[in-house]
Amino acid sequence: MIVRPEQYAALRRYFFAEQMGEGGFADGGVIRDPVTGAVLLRDASGNNTRLTFDTQGFINGVESPQGHWSFYISVQECFSR
């Protein structure tokens, strides 16, 4: 059986979100945005931390609740230097 790169990416996004929920980082639940592929980690107070993923399924951005801070990275740029 051959697993295609896009399947690995989907598995990374799925299992990462599941682990964050089970690890107590998202006491209020894990919500997946079917349109963008982003994952929202909701804390017990209902605040969402938004995670975005690159095409390989790795995290490439984090936005805090209420947008107080955020960061975005490009793995391709990091390794092309």
- What's this model's pTM, rounded to 2 decimal places? 0.72
Where in 14-69 does DSSP place strands (E)? 29-32, 39-42, 48-53, 59-63
Percent of the chain with pLDDT strictly greater than 70: 88
| Residue 78 pLDDT exceeds 60 | no
What pLDDT, in 10s, does the model give residues 12-44? 888 887 787 777 777 888 888 888 888 888 888
Residue 64 β-bridge partners: none
Q: Spell out the domain ranges in the chain.
A: 5-79
pLDDT for position 75: 61
